[in-house]
């Protein structure tokens, strides 16, 4: 490649980064940069504008006609319906009752609730706002340290990006040509690992610094009949839904798309069971689902145009040329890719990073060789889950961590920005610890898919 052919696609990436900081809608940024470099490439004879007609067929064939992506709107519907039907409120009630005698019991309840809701919703914004509205006033009232409150809620709410059914994993499966079932099973242990790290941290802080998470005053024990009733109403229904959705995928009884339909129907049944279902609620959920889905697929269309022009201008070859010039070993190169993704998470959302970076990194990762540590045919799966764990930190890292803004808005009057930034630091370190464990011990990702025969 000539120097110009190397610089041109790299400058395309650079311009996109600059444009994204303008605050203009991401879909239009992607498409706009793609069109600009269509003209630039055409001026130098590297791209024919008539080739843009192929973008339409790519959008149709890879997005609109993709049966796997049909799962996205149904998972979104399921998450929003559960958020607004009162399921989460009952779940927090029962968990806080069961853990009231444990140090940091309310914080533990929030983490467990975030873990369960992550396995039923997969929508981070909804989870963070919901946890903030339900748990933050109670935690502050009981005298919990505000940094702990912020860190627990923000980190627990972001588990939905990793724990199946995750919208991000559905998109990553399509981009990397990996079966979504493999990604779902591979993400189970890393997701539970992060949740476990949060729980251990809270228990340690609760034991060593009890003043930061005071126990509630002793109250009369709840009668057994009332406790059983509370469990049946608040804990069993979402657990059954998790089993229905994830169990059908892991057990091979249903595809992710079919399981998403089961989840959407199950969430509606739970709303009816909680006596919160109404035509007005259904209308609100459908509208919110349509808006969220339109945003995601709009970005898909812009990213398709961008990536097509980028490849036609030799972007893949330029990236590989730069990587070869660095002369890094396979493990060193993997570490570099993870650092790049982590740093991008300070400024961009996971969807932007996923749609822009993963298609660029895919040919590089496929050439890596980690010997007996990771089988060659499973490197891409392992890498994808590591990226998913890495991208979870993007929700917590300032200045543009979405979870921080959700928490700041929903927790107005309870938390300051300083409380939030102070609180998320230990949980970000815990997430990076989880990422390091997944990289050092690939079996954390690959054992379950291999055990189930994927």
Mean pLDDT of the region 230-252: 76
| pLDDT for 162 beyond 60 | yes
Residue in 164, 187, 167, 170 with CA at minimum distance from that of residue 116 = 164
User: Please, which pLDDT band fits residue 120 given cuts at 50, 70 and 90?
Assistant: low
**Crossing angle of helices 402-410 and 417-440, rounded to 10°:** 140
3-state secondary structure of 352: helix
User: Please, which pLDDT band fits residue 38 given cuts at 50, 70 and 90?
Assistant: confident
Share above pLDDT 70 across residues of the chain, in percent, rounded to a whole number = 92
Mean pLDDT of the region 267-294: 86
Residue in 124, 116, 131 with CA at minimum distance from that of residue 235 = 116
- Summarised one tens digit per residue, pLDDT across range 58-85 is 777 666 666 667 777 887 788 778 777 7
The alpha-helical segments, DSSP class H, found in 166-313 are 167-176, 180-208, 224-234, 236-250, 256-273, 279-312
Mean pLDDT of the region 205-218: 82
Mean pLDDT of the region 10-39: 81
**By mean pLDDT, which of 32-46, 58-72, 297-311 is the weakest?**
58-72
pLDDT score for 440: 92
pLDDT score for 436: 94
Share above pLDDT 90 across residues of the chain, in percent, rounded to a whole number = 13
Residues 305 and 54 sit within 8 Å (Cβ to Cβ): no
Cβ contacts of 127 within 8 Å, gap of 6 or more: 79, 83, 114, 117, 118, 121, 156, 157, 158, 159, 160
Alpha carbon distance 86, 166 (integer Å)? 21
| pLDDT for 386 beyond 80 | yes
Most confident of 57-71, 224-238, 367-381, 421-435: 421-435
| pLDDT for 217 beyond 80 | no
Read off the pTM: 0.78
Mean pLDDT of the region 78-102: 76
Alpha carbon distance 368, 380 (integer Å)? 10
Sequential DSSP letters for 232-243: HHHTHHHHHHHH
Alpha carbon distance 378, 380 (integer Å)? 6
Q: Is 211 exposed, middle or buried (0-12, 13-18, 19+ CB in 10 A)?
A: exposed
pLDDT score for 42: 82
| pLDDT for 185 beyond 60 | yes
Q: Is 408 exposed, middle or buried (0-12, 13-18, 19+ CB in 10 A)?
A: middle
Q: Is 307 exposed, middle or buried (0-12, 13-18, 19+ CB in 10 A)?
A: buried
The rounded mean pLDDT for the chain is 81
Residue in 413, 425, 407, 317 with CA at minimum distance from that of residue 127 = 407
| pLDDT for 348 beyond 80 | no
Phi, psi of 350 (to 5 degrees): -60, -35
CA–chain centroid gap for 151, Å, is 17
Cα dist from 201 to 108, 139, 151, 206, whole Å: 10, 17, 11, 8
| pLDDT for 140 beyond 70 | yes
């Amino acid at each position: 490649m000539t120097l110009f052919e190397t610089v041109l696609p790299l400058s395309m990436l650079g311009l996109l980064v600059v444009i994204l900081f303008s605050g203009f809608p991401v879909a239009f940024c992607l498409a706009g940069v793609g069109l600009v470099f269509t003209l630039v490439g055409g001026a130098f004879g590297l791209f024919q504008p008539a080739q843009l007609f192929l973008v339409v067929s790519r959008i149709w064939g890879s997005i609109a006609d993709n049966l796997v992506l049909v799962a996205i709107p149904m998972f979104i519907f399921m998450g929003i319906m559960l958020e607004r039907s009162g399921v989460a409120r009952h779940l927090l009630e029962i968990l806080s009752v069961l853990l009231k005698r444990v140090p940091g019991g309310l914080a533990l309840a929030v983490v467990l609730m975030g873990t369960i809701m992550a396995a039923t919703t997969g929508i981070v914004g909804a989870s963070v706002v919901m946890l903030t509205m339900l748990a933050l006033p109670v935690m502050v009232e009981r005298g919990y340290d505000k940094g702990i409150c912020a860190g627990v809620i923000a980190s627990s709410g972001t588990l939905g990006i990793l724990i199946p059914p995750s919208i991000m994993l559905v998109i990553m499966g399509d981009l990397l040509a990996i079966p979504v079932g493999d990604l779902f099973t591979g993400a189970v242990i890393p997701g539970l690992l992060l949740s476990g790290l949060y729980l251990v941290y809270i228990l340690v802080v609760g034991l060593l610094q009890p003043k930061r998470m005071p126990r509630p005053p002793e109250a009369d024990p709840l009668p057994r009949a009332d406790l059983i009733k509370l469990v049946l109403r608040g804990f069993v229904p979402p657990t059954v839904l998790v089993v229905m959705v994830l169990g059908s995928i892991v057990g091979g009884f249903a595809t992710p798309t079919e399981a998403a339909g089961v989840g959407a129907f199950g969430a509606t049944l739970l709303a009816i069971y909680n006596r919160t279902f109404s035509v007005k609620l259904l209308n609100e959920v459908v509208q919110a689902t349509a808006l969220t889905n339109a945003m995601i697929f709009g970005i898909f269309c812009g990213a398709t145009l961008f990536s097509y022009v980028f490849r036609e201008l030799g972007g893949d070859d330029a990236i590989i040329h730069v990587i070869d010039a660095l002369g890094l070993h396979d493990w060193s190169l993997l570490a570099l890719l993870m650092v790049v993704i982590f740093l991008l998470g300070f400024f961009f959302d996971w969807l932007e990073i996923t749609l822009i970076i993963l298609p660029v990194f895919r040919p590089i990762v496929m050439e890596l060789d980690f010997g007996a540590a990771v089988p060659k045919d499973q490197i891409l799966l392992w890498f994808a889950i590591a990226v998913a764990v890495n991208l979870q930190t993007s929700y917590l890292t300032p200045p543009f961590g979405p979870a921080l803004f959700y928490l700041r808005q929903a927790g107005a009057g309870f938390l300051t920005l300083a409380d939030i930034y102070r609180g998320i630091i230990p949980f970000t370190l815990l997430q990076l610890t989880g990422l390091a464990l997944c990289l050092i011990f690939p079996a954390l990702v690959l054992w379950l898919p291999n055990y189930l025969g994927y």
